A and B are shown apart, each in its own frame.
Chain A
Amino acid sequence: MTNQVQDVKMSDCIMICGSNAAENHPITFKWVEQAMNRAEDPAKLIVVDPRFTRTASKADIFAQTRPGTDIAFFGALIKYAIDNNMVNWDYLKTYTNASFLANPGFGFDPKTGVYSGFSETTDPKTGKKKKKYDTATWSFQMGADGKPLKDPTLTNPQCVWNQMVNHYSRYTPEKVEQICGIPKAKFEEIAKAYCSTYENGKSGVLMYAMGLTQHTYGTQNIRTFAMLQLILGNIGMPGGGIDALRGCANVQGSTDFALLFHIWPGYNPTPNSAKNPTLDAYNAARLKAVGSAYWSNTPKFMASYLKAQYGDSATAENQFGYVWVPRIKDGVNYSHIALFEAMEKGDVKGLFVVGQNPAVGGPNSNQETAAMDKLDWMVVSEIFNHETPNFWRRPGADPGKIKTEVFLLPAAACGEYEGTFSNTGRVVQWFYKSAEPKGEAKKDVDFFSLLQQKLVELYKADAKAPNRESVVNLYWPYGDDVNMEAVLAEINGFNWATKKRLKNFTVLAADGSTACGNWIMSGVYPEEPDYPGITDPDPAKAAAAKASFAKTKGNLAKRHNNEDTGNVAIYPKWCWCWPVNRRIIYNRGSADPAGQPWNPKKNIEQWNGTKWVSVDVPDFKATDPALPGNPPVAPAVSAANPFIMLNFGMGQLFSLASVADGPFPEHYEPIESLFKNEMNGMQNDPMAKIFSDSPNDKLAPLGDKKYPIIAGTSRVTEHFQSGTMTRNMPWLVEMQPNMFVEMSKDLADRKGISNGDWVKVTSIRGETEAVAVVTDRIQVLEVSGQKTDVVNMPYHFGYMGYCTGGPNDISYAANQLTPNVGDANTTIPESKAFIVDIEKA
């Protein structure tokens, strides 16, 4: 999230798309209701979703939309704001790249549906088509000073603003009706309500989840809305922003710590063997790629991270151990789907599964379980024995033919150890141990610590072991029962010589004198002199800070003071928030160019004529530490650089080559679709990741008559993810005991299905059975003049545990039906739009 969970209560209009917050984020939804129930100027809630959910039941305006058509809808909101002059012009002109002149070679052709630089070639060996963008023209016209040329009047047709106006001129309400199935009048009602947040001081927020991300253009879905937010002046505002609702308690933490292949902790890209041969080359590439002076700090972040990895072995001579780190091969995808494809081909022989159940939760799960059949070994550490370690006895498999050796380790459950959760609003919160782990159960980190010790021992004994240095030189002094606060100290960073913890990432060094496990987390665990408030000139405040330190011993994730210091839903003393306890990122946007808040009731940063008065930690240059006495910096300086970490310091209406499928998002159809793309001449996102190596990588062709129904997967409040925990909890199973599929009454009638019947749902890849929940909460949509059926299934069920989802010996996993296709940028699977058929079981 750019903002905070609690901050939603400051909003004037909340748009929830592709999220069922009331069901899947019930605590977050509490703040939505607080905004709606405010005595003065209550907020409006708009919900746009393929079905009427428990979230929709609370909405002021609901629109049922066709899955996978959000860019058409959001693009039309952009056009609506432009056409109706609902634009925060001061914000737009000063804080975004609207005035930058785009490269004259840049363009988009609606006839072909691609941007400049597109080419398609056929591999003569495999016959496979390869689509590619040369992104040279996705750039700005540069002046002699190395800065982009601008037209502050926004009249030059080449400027970003006019390029964008032109791009979205095709996104009319009629097109929304035709593509999404949202009637024009309903669209206009929504557009008027949401775009009214352009007014000074008003703020609107988008809350989204997997319903927007799990598409082949998921990244662009979010980008489209981010652009709208910039046009309306909603980024950086209390009650504004873009709020991703992460799917579980610590998903934010898991990405912050790089449980993904393409990043390192703190979102630095994983080194690429071809592009980043040396640490210096890596640092230079980073600075060049982002084009913001901020990233000249990269060498400090990298050296400190490597020092935390390799300790005394990390020296300037070996580039602090950079020579040993694993790199990714250029152009190779190591994401979830790709790994399972590699497994099926036999390229990956072993698999660790920790806190995951891919046999149920992974896309195209029949492919994933078939891939597991090829493994030599699998290690699963879990609190329940679930489907994945039992893939070899899934319904239909022949255990005699599967050779994989499976090790199942008992994991300690949360509450049986301590540590941190980073919530969706980036708040790092300490949790405590309340019970001993049962039996031989261990916390995950202890398991990995033991494994690490054993590996080091084995590698030390074998002088010829490959990549030996990268293992034997690891710095990990934490032993068998890892002290989590000691790990937090390493994450926070410390001075290598003195071992004193650091204040925050501003004191990191590039010479190997500091170690820091994750630069964005630096500051979570300072020493006493750096503890917030401890040197406050007000003795009462200093005493309070001292008392707080006495309790937390410096670990700010343990703070529990819920004081709303500015009465703006900012709780600076509640735990700690990355980066540097900043609660709303890009918060320069909360004030006008002169430094005055757009709305005095949403005042978090104000220039009082001589200095900045801040409720939140400024995300801009408020003072200049490089000058003696750290003097205040006038608002004009930060108004020219309000998004300090982004390209040229500006909000990105036009994204550079960092987004793979184009500088402005464009509507494409889901890979499996019943409809031709009505917006342009290209059916699918040309950069979508389509996997085709497995026999089960089947895709139904456009409008396949065998699969005439659009389907998506979702969650219910009673179950969690792949159901590992909740399907073993009888009180929850009692409420949602069965796999089900929600469908309209009309469809049920045509299929002779009654409410409560068992039905079979089939896609080209697999099938499952489900109880028909025949409901008015899904209606037949009219898309391109054609009656269109949409159904939805939860993906929680499987074939193991107290509850599998049904009475038969089959797998009730909805993911048997979903395809192995991924987002153009992230490769997240497209599980929210595919096609199926349904018949009575």
Chain B
Amino acid sequence: MAEEKAILVDTTKCTACRACQVACKEWNQNPAEKTKNRGSYENPPTLGSYTWMRILFNEYYKDNKMSWLFTKHQCMHCTDAACVEVCPPNATTHREAKLADGTVVKSVATDPKLCIGCNYCRVACPFDVPGYNQKKKGIYRCTLCVDRQTGDKPGFTVPACVKVCAPGTLSYGNRTELIAKAEARVAQLKAAGYTKARLFGVKELEGLRYMYILTDEPSAYQLPDNPSIPASVKVWKTLTKPYGAFAAGGVLLALILNGIINARNRGLEEKFKLEQ
């Protein structure tokens, strides 16, 4: 199997400067949204058509100790991707681009022409990525800057967010090499007393294309502790998806899907409403 590219996020180095957030908008020419301060530095409030990544600010105060953990949040480009599984018209698919060095970039993307706007991916995604704050037809997400990596735009290679990250939180490269580097860093952190230090994203959902070095439980970073695709999604896929394109138009089937996988998401829906 060809070596694939990935991005490593060493959250211990992140200062939440958000250069990556702006670089993402700049490279992809996504317009700014009208926002307001809701009592936090975090903005815009959700991902969406024009916001493909954002930094989450996680504030804690325990035993007289303050802490502020920052999470770079965007599509993880899961190997086992719920959004792909669930997409009735197969608008969301796995993509693969070959690079000159023989490695590949594997990503997940949605074809806006095929997207029917059912938003099942929003409900299914364990990372709350697609379907929020939609301003145009289709689902838009981080592209892993495939257009930079392939050299289609001469002079660019490294994804825009990685390029601008001053403290070296973000690194881009061959996945196996990044994992080795990350494991060494986790060992260093453990030795320095961060007993909960860990690497997230190597095995999760058969491998994420963004991997994270954390010093606490994933949930402290608003990441799922054990991301998984609900069994119902798998059932949905095997039973219904062959007819999906036709069926998804039907309210009935949509309701069934919502009914069976929605438990987890109720809170999330509320949050979404609140933020709108």
Contact = CB atoms under 8 A, between A and B. Distances in A.
A756 interface: yes
Interface string A36-62: 010100100000000010111110001
A188 interface: no
A590 interface: no
Interface of B: 13, 15-19, 21-22, 25-26, 31-41, 43-44, 59-61, 66-70, 166-168, 188, 192
Contacts of B19: 26
B192 A731 contact: no
The 10 closest A-B pairs by CB, nearest first: A755-B39, A776-B61, A730-B32, A756-B39, A738-B37, A57-B68, A22-B15, A734-B32, A52-B66, A771-B37
A56 B43 contact: no
A740 B37 contact: yes
Contacts of B68: 52, 54, 56-57, 777
A733 interface: yes
25 contacts: A22-B17, A30-B166, A30-B167, A39-B188, A52-B66, A54-B68, A57-B68, A57-B69, A62-B66, A731-B25, A731-B26, A733-B32, A734-B34, A735-B35, A737-B34, A737-B37, A740-B37, A754-B39, A755-B38, A771-B39, A776-B66, A777-B59, A777-B61, A779-B61, A779-B66
Contacts of A735: 18, 21-22, 35, 41, 43
Contacts of B167: 26, 29-30, 33
A33 B18 contact: no
Contacts of A56: 66, 68
A731 B22 contact: yes
A88 interface: no
A777 B58 CA distance: 11
Contact of B70 (A37, A57, A773): A57
A772 B39 contact: yes
A780 interface: no
Nearest to B65: A62
Interface string A272-302: 0000000000000000000000000000000
Contact of B18 (A718, A754, A777, A779): A718
Contact of A57 (B15, B18, B22): B15
Given A734-B33, A737-B37, A737-B43, A777 B66 contact: yes
A735 B25 CA distance: 12
A731 B66 contact: no
B141 to A, nearest CB: 18
Contacts of B34: 734, 737
Contacts of A62: 66
B18 A717 contact: yes
A58 B21 CA distance: 20
Contacts of B41: 716, 735-736, 773
B55 to A, nearest CB: 9
A27 B21 CA distance: 17
Contact of A775 (B21, B22, B59): B59
Secondary structure of the A side of the interface? mixed
A8 interface: no
Contacts of A773: 37, 39-41
A30 B168 contact: yes
Interface residues of A, number: 42
Given A731-B22, A776-B61, A29 B15 contact: yes
B17 to A, nearest CB: 5
A55 B70 CA distance: 12
A455 interface: no
Given A736-B43, A777-B66, A717 B17 contact: yes
Contacts of B36: 737-738, 771
Contacts of B43: 734-737
A26 B67 CA distance: 19
Nearest to B51: A734
Contacts of B25: 731
A837 to B, nearest CB: 20
A52 B65 CA distance: 10
A156 B13 CA distance: 50
A754 B38 CA distance: 10
A732 B25 CA distance: 11
Nearest to A757: B39
Contact of B35 (A27, A37, A717, A737): A737
A715 to B, nearest CB: 13
Contact of A730 (B31, B168, B192): B31
A731 B54 CA distance: 12
A494 B18 CA distance: 46
A329 B133 CA distance: 63
A26 B15 contact: yes
A23 B68 CA distance: 14
A16 interface: no
Contacts of A833: none
B54 to A, nearest CB: 9
A747 interface: no
Interface string A760-786: 000000000001111111010000000
Residue in A26, A735, A754, A772 whose Cβ sees the most chain B Cβ within 10 Å: A735
Given A54-B15, A731-B22, A777-B68, A26 B166 contact: yes
Given A54-B15, A733-B32, A734-B44, 12 more contacts: A33-B13, A39-B188, A54-B16, A718-B18, A734-B33, A737-B36, A771-B36, A772-B39, A776-B61, A777-B66, A779-B61, A779-B66
B49 to A, nearest CB: 14
A716 to B, nearest CB: 7
A733 B31 CA distance: 12
A214 B19 CA distance: 28
A42 B192 contact: yes
A104 to B, nearest CB: 49
A745 B168 CA distance: 34
B39 A55 contact: no
Contacts of A756: 37-39
Residue among B26, B33, B41, B70 with most chain A CB within 10 A: B41
Query: Which of B15, B44, B69, B168 counts the most chain A CB atoms within 10 A?
Result: B15
Contact of A776 (B16, B32, B38, B59): B59
B177 to A, nearest CB: 18
Contacts of A775: 59
Given A730-B32, A731-B32, A37 B37 contact: no
Given A54-B68, A57-B68, A23 B17 contact: yes
A754 B41 CA distance: 16
Contacts of B166: 26-27, 29-30
Interface in A101-118: none
B59 to A, nearest CB: 6
B67 A57 contact: yes
A58 B37 contact: no
A55 B167 CA distance: 12
Contacts of A757: 39
B195 to A, nearest CB: 16
Interface in A368-416: none
A717 B22 CA distance: 12
Contacts of B21: 735
A755 B60 CA distance: 15
* Chain A CB within 10 A, most for which of B21, B32, B34, B168: B32
A124 B16 CA distance: 57
Contacts of A733: 32
B15 A774 contact: no
Contacts of A718: 18
A755 B19 CA distance: 26
B168 A26 contact: no
Interface in A651-703: none
A767 B265 CA distance: 44
A741 B274 CA distance: 23
Nearest to A776: B61
Among B18, B26, B168, residue most surrounded by chain A Cβ atoms (within 10 Å): B18
Interface in A4-30: 22-23, 26-27, 29-30
A272 to B, nearest CB: 44
